[in-house]
Chain A
Amino acid sequence: MNNKLAWLYMVPAALFLGVFLIYPTFSTIALSFFGPRSVEFVGLANYRSVLTSSAVLSALRNNLLWLAIMPTATVALGLVLAAILDRVRYEAIVKAIVFLPMSISFVGASVIWKFVYAYRPASRPQIGLLNAILARLGFEPIGWLAVRPWVNNLALITVGIWVWTGFCVVILSAAYKGVPRELVEAARIDGASEFQIFWHVILPHMRGTIAITFTTMVIYVLKIFDIVYVMTNGAFDTEVLASRMIKEMFGYWNYGSAAAIATLLLLLVIPFLTISMLRFLREER
């Protein structure tokens, strides 16, 4: 009886997930085996064409670059800030400021940063913050979004870090405060240095939260779209898989290859999802 009731309670959620998550997932996978108009079965042709397309390969490379930098940078920054801010009186204010970018839409943030990176020839007044500073210091302006392959991609990743660091700080700071004070006291009495305390006492206690935060960042980064779409639309080798997918779908009306890219993205996310699910289950137990 109880069991049946539980199932009954699950029905709305299951229906919702079924219609809006599970069905589209399988439908997308199915579409990836059909032609541009989803009429003709083409087997693996979409995957072959997507994986030999230089545009998609460059997008894949960039996704890996984002993956290598952004999760590590946001989590590390978040951790450092959480540890430092714990010791100051105006912690709440600083945290609020760091968290503020989270409350701006990503499109809004991208537009803001487009102005920060704006370039004008040296003979004209600079309207971009960074180039205005460079000009004031007597340097030549830099085309932040056009200099490939490092400057522009790092400039975009910086925006992502700016947006997400606040999120990491808030989560990690809560975990930091959850570390039992007695342990820290004991370590201090035993003569451990502040760094040793952080490394050997606090960090191990925060491991679970750090891992969750990191996986959240990884999954977000794999889906990264808004920043690239608004700021460069993938020009100068800054394309990522999600922006490529939108182009194939709405720009070129090719449902087959768009679905193939979507499936590829799904495959990339699955290992990280599995890891975080397993960890979650273990902690539940």
Chain B
Amino acid sequence: MTKDKILLKLVYALLAWVSLVSGAQATPRDSVTVMTLWGGKELEAFEGILDAFEKRTEVAVRVESAGRDLSILLMARLEAGNPPDLAVIPNPGQMRELARRGHLIPLDFLEPRGYPKAFIESAQFCGRQYGLFLSADAKSLVWYRPRLFKEGGYEIPRSWSDMVALSKRMATEGKTPWSIGLESGAASGWPGTDWIEDIFLRLHGPDAYDRWVEHEISWQNPLVKEAWETFGQILFNEDYVFGGIMGCLSINFADAALELFTEPPGCLMHRQGTFMQSFIRGNYPLLAPGRDYNVFPLPSIKGGGPAPLVASGDLISAFRDTREVRDLLSYLASPEAQSMWAKAAGKLALHVDVPISAYSDPISAKAAELLTTAEVVKFDASDMMPAVVGSGAFWTGILDYASGMKLDDVLARIENAAQRAYKGGQVLR
């Protein structure tokens, strides 16, 4: 702490105070504060899970919803020396950054046995556990409407080339195979990063994927370039995507999925994660998941084997080491709390002891099965990268590429940002 930062801290203290006023008196001993980014249904589901804990332990859990400004508020509270006990962190990249700055408590007391490997490893920093995943989203899914596939005589594609052939056939029949929405406010571009990640994993396998995440492979490496070009073959084909390239750039990611349901349909396939179900349900509550719309795994590119899966998830980290914090974390890691996530539609539990039958809808059940049976499960690459790349240059790179910048220039730009971000070893001071 330098003297020069006093003013900064004043501002932070003010911000922290404002955030405190929204819901707080002094924290009593046997209570825990959790800062989350959720609102609406997700928040309700989380509070439901906490209720059971509160009843059993008589520890009061106070949830502060910071929404999308979570990382700003969290940093403010940290600088003011007044962090919450626990916080839901947007992604493992930010968790690593917090751990690197020494803000987080290592969670050695947790033994997340029964968790998929990808979800243990991505919550680690320097070999120690700093985060616990509460739930997961499977990403490598393609949404479609069984009725439209049946009417068109289309089969679920088993390989990437099948899928491209299917796209071509749909296009020649005057239909639009895909809808890709890259717009997402300040986070625009991220839906494209999911495509690149899926394609990279399918082209080059899990080891190369890990090296790419850790920046041991340059962004200008031909492996990376190949993944972008494969995406470009779909993205830049005006007959393959709804609204052409300008449509992709302007359509919001959530609206893009809804194009499946317009009359006539704006698209026949849409690649997006499990969380899309809540958007679809919100707009079309009368349609039955599994019957009126369904998902198939994005097929593999090389070899005929089962497709690898990219997944992401919400993780929680601790800033204070108290008995209550430990109790709450152990509870959240238990199959009991996890199966409550499963019941809240759209979220996947991580513990293997949560049976598939715990899911209330067939799409979540299918995704959960993929998550536990897929040979290769990898965590979302952009979420793992330092924010400068993972939620900065990679996002804008997608938009640069889609809006006509030459791929070499796009990748050079991301590489430029990556060199700043990864440089300087582990500890940044």
Residues of A bordering B, CB below 8 Å: 23-24, 27, 30-31, 34-40, 49, 52-55, 118-124, 141, 143, 145-148, 229, 233-237, 247, 250-255, 257
Contacts and interface: CB of A to CB of B under 8 A. Distances in A.
Interface of B: 1-2, 4-8, 71-72, 75, 97, 101, 185-186, 188-189, 242-244, 246-247, 249-251, 266, 386-388, 391-393, 395-396, 399-400, 403-405, 412-413, 416-417, 420-421, 428-429
A52 B244 CA distance: 35
A212 B399 CA distance: 39
A36 B387 contact: no
A38 B5 contact: yes
Nearest to B388: A252
A37 B428 contact: yes
Given A250-B71, A252-B388, A39 B244 contact: no
Looking at chain B's contact residues, the main secondary structure is helix
B246 A119 contact: yes
Contacts of A247: 392
Contacts of A253: 71, 75, 97, 101, 387
A237 B400 contact: yes
23 contacts: A23-B7, A27-B7, A30-B4, A31-B5, A35-B428, A35-B429, A37-B429, A53-B417, A54-B412, A55-B393, A120-B243, A121-B246, A123-B266, A143-B246, A233-B186, A235-B188, A235-B189, A235-B395, A235-B399, A250-B75, A251-B71, A251-B392, A253-B97
A146 B246 contact: yes
Contacts of A53: 416-417, 420
B246 A39 contact: no
A278 B405 CA distance: 45
A170 to B, nearest CB: 33
Given A54-B413, A120-B250, A146-B250, A251 B387 contact: yes
Contact of A121 (B7, B242, B395): B242
Nearest to B428: A36
Contact of B243 (A55, A123, A250, A252): A123
A95 to B, nearest CB: 36
Nearest to A20: B7
Contacts of B6: 27
Nearest to B262: A124
A180 B188 CA distance: 55
Contacts, number: 109
B4 A121 contact: no
Nearest to A121: B243
Nearest to B186: A233
Contacts of B421: 252
B265 to A, nearest CB: 12
A216 to B, nearest CB: 26
Contacts of A120: 243, 250-251
A40 B6 CA distance: 16
A247 B251 CA distance: 24
A31 B4 contact: yes
A236 B429 contact: no
A39 B404 contact: no
Contacts of B388: 252, 254
Nearest to A19: B7
Q: Which 7 A-B pairs have the closest CB atoms?
A: A121-B243, A39-B429, A40-B429, A119-B250, A121-B247, A143-B246, A233-B186
Given A27-B7, A235-B188, A143 B429 contact: no
Given A55-B396, A253-B71, 12 more contacts: A27-B5, A27-B8, A36-B428, A37-B101, A38-B2, A39-B429, A55-B392, A124-B243, A148-B403, A229-B186, A236-B399, A252-B421
A116 B420 CA distance: 37
B426 to A, nearest CB: 13
A52 B243 CA distance: 37
A244 to B, nearest CB: 10
A252 B413 CA distance: 17
Contacts of B249: 143, 146
A36 B246 CA distance: 37
A254 B244 CA distance: 37
A38 B387 contact: no
A253 to B, nearest CB: 6
A24 B250 CA distance: 40
B188 A24 contact: no
A33 to B, nearest CB: 10
Contacts of A40: 429
A124 B265 CA distance: 12
Contacts of A49: 420
